[in-house]
Amino acid sequence: MKRNQESFRGCLMGGAIGDALGWPVEFVKYRDIIRRYGPDGIQDLQLQSHGRAEITDDTQMTLFTAEGILRAETRGRQKGICHPPSVVFFAYQRWLLTQGYSRISDYKWIYDGWLLGVKDLHATRAPGSSCLSALTSQKQGTIKEPINNSKGCGGVMRAAPAGLFYQKENAFNMAAEFAALTHGHPSGYLPAGALAYIIASIIEGQDIETAVKDTIGELEAHAGHDECARSLNQAIALVKSGLPAVEAITRLGEGWVGEEALAISVYCVLKHQDNFKKALAASVNHNGDSDSTGAITGNILGAYLGLSKIPLNWIENVELGEVTLQIADDLLIGYQGTREWRERYPGC
């Protein structure tokens, strides 16, 4: 059982670090990564003028997902009834405000809580078009009534908190519903459910390979699972193939869509499951969506190895590290009936 501070912190901090490691090369082809950083590609965080390595919308939305989950828990405890996807939707509306969008008059009651007041979160870091268009429509997409046909990785890259907070039997469905708020294709929301299921399985004590195989079994109970299940099975096979990492990742895709991003991350985790640094390096040195594959890889392996197995200089140098650790601790606590908690995570 890994339901402890070490694993919760490792999961969210690992995701933030993977995000920051991949961000400088997100839109850079592999050949140009090698030309710029040397034969091994990018291997370390790139510090900016403020002394930290920048995170992107992947980590921002992960933090707001966690906030939504915690506010839903507060509401459920106080009111006795709650629809968590709706509360997470309003958390994403607060994230939208940090991206320079105006407050929505119909939602004036949602703009509170502590996360919105974190100044460094108010930075635009290449947010995905599906997330922006879905959220600005003010409509809540669902699995039954999809808001679009997007299968982009913007649903899966923010799903880790659901795997930490919910028990395995609920983690998949919750994460899938959270992703469906903005991504309507099964390969947009099912990978989010799969990531949460993998993380929940790890938290419950499973090894990574068993967690992945059990997740494939869970996927098969959901309509539209074919692409995601096929990609995960291919990732498992490629780990055993002996191919160089960059060639194996190329076969899995570029990670711009949900099932590819998850499969690339699973491949890197299985390939280097005892070495956080090697896994993250593999996950970002390719042609595709390096920050998202880095974030997902960091989420999974961080949960498995724990915070103490992540290089200390990376923990110290990533942007919003203190906020990330606080959110991880709060997810582990789950709920406190104190005034301070209710002010941090109001039940709405």
Q: What is the pTM of this model?
A: 0.98
Torsion of CA 228, 178, 164, 245, to 10 degrees: 30
Phi-psi sector, 334: left (phi>0), alpha (psi -120 to 50), beta: left
Residue ranges of the chain whose pLDDT lies below 50: none
Task: List, for residues 259-298, the tens digit of each pLDDT value.
Answer: 999 999 999 999 999 999 999 999 999 999 999 999 999 9
- Write out the two tokens for 8: 């919760």
The CA distances from residue 206 to 155, 215, 331, 333, in Å, are: 24, 11, 20, 22
Pure H helices in 181-320: 186-203, 208-219, 226-241, 245-252, 258-271, 276-284, 290-305, 312-317
- Write out the two tokens for 229: 């299940």
Is-contact 164 199, C-beta < 8 A?
yes
Task: List, for residues 138-170, the tens digit of each pLDDT value.
Answer: 999 999 999 999 999 999 999 999 999 999 989
Q: Give the residue among 44, 5, 51 at the shortest CA–CA distance from 24.
A: 44
φ and ψ of 93, to 5 deg: -65, -35
